[in-house]
Amino acid sequence: MNHIMSKKVGKNVAKISFNVKLDTENAYIMACRQILPVGLLGLMLTGMYFSTSASANTTLNVVSAVFTNDIYKGAINPNASEKKLMSVARTSSWCFGIFMILIALAVPYLGGVVEFTISLGAITGGPLLLPPIWALFSKRLTGKATINITLVSLAVNIFFKLILPAINGYKLSRGSEMLLGVLLPLILLLIYDFIFARKQSTSEDYQLYLNYKSEKKVVAMQMDAKEMAIIRTQNKFGLRMIAFSLLFTGLLLLVLSLITPHSKGLVLVIAILIMIGAIIP
């Protein structure tokens, strides 16, 4: 009797656990909790936090710099002073930062971070990456054409992702969404490069790039010994900072290896390897 009851209970538990929705967004943290010893888990979480914040800060600085130098100074106010540009950079940093926070708050309502990341990559990955990469190897692609192809591709992807499902309920599958995001800018680049720009061997932008490159070589050749010494000093300072950071991290792990009740040897080996790595810089 007890054997039969235990079998039924086991089947019910299996059904319940199978029907429970997996917490995919916290899977990495849960795996770290199960595998890493005490001390290394905190270090891993700290590294993840600072890596995320550094990535967000870098993105915010890049977007603000592009808006200030390429859009505001390049198209809106070419004669802007340095003080004005700094003011615009600070204001745009605030605006883009608030916009990023609002998007982060809206992520749970968009299906979670996994769904949001996949959808964002499908919509923006191809249009934002393919045209600039193509421009690195093409002598005929202009900056204006690159921007136009990016904007057209983004508009079409947003239409099929957001507008069309709201109009008639039609929604592309994940695979079709990815193919559209990659193939559309690729087709537009091929059409432009081999049909519209086939008569010209090189574009104006490419000629400007060659002139800029030659000027940089002349400036580099004119660099005196004092400037070279300053550059070497700055490089040495950067290497010392990297070595100090590695050494300090190794010392922290060495202390943790003495405190942690489990996997002392593993933590000790990792600490020694990091301290040896500090010799490289």
Per residue in 64-75, pLDDT (tens digit) is 888 898 888 877
Least confident interval from 101-115, 236-250, 259-273 = 101-115
pLDDT at site 9: 45
**Token reading at 258:** 């003495």
d(CA 275, CA 75): 51
Q: CA separation (Å) from 80 to 32, 60, 65, 75? A: 51, 22, 14, 11
Instruction: Please report which confidence band the pLDDT of residue 55 belongs to, taking 50, 70 and 90 as the band edges.
Output: confident
pLDDT at site 56: 83
Cα 94 → chain centroid: 20
> 130 or 37, which is more confident?
130
d(CA 116, CA 25): 11
d(CA 7, CA 199): 78
**Token reading at 14:** 């299996």
Whether the pLDDT of residue 246 is over 80: the answer is yes
Percent share of the chain, pLDDT over 70:
88
pLDDT at site 118: 79
d(CA 273, CA 281): 14
Per-residue pLDDT tens over the stretch 199-240 = 777 777 778 878 888 887 777 666 667 777 888 888 888 889
| Mean of pLDDT over the chain | 80
Stretch 125-151: mean pLDDT, rounded? Answer: 86
Whether the pLDDT of residue 91 is over 90: the answer is yes
d(CA 151, CA 65): 20
Cβ-in-10-Å burial (0-12, 13-18, 19+) of 279 comes to: exposed
Residues in the chain: 281
Stretch 153-175: mean pLDDT, rounded? Answer: 84
Whether the pLDDT of residue 103 is over 70: the answer is yes
- Cα dihedral sign, 38-41-47-49: negative
Q: Which residues are CB-neighbours of 264 under 8 A, at least 6 positions away?
A: 257, 258
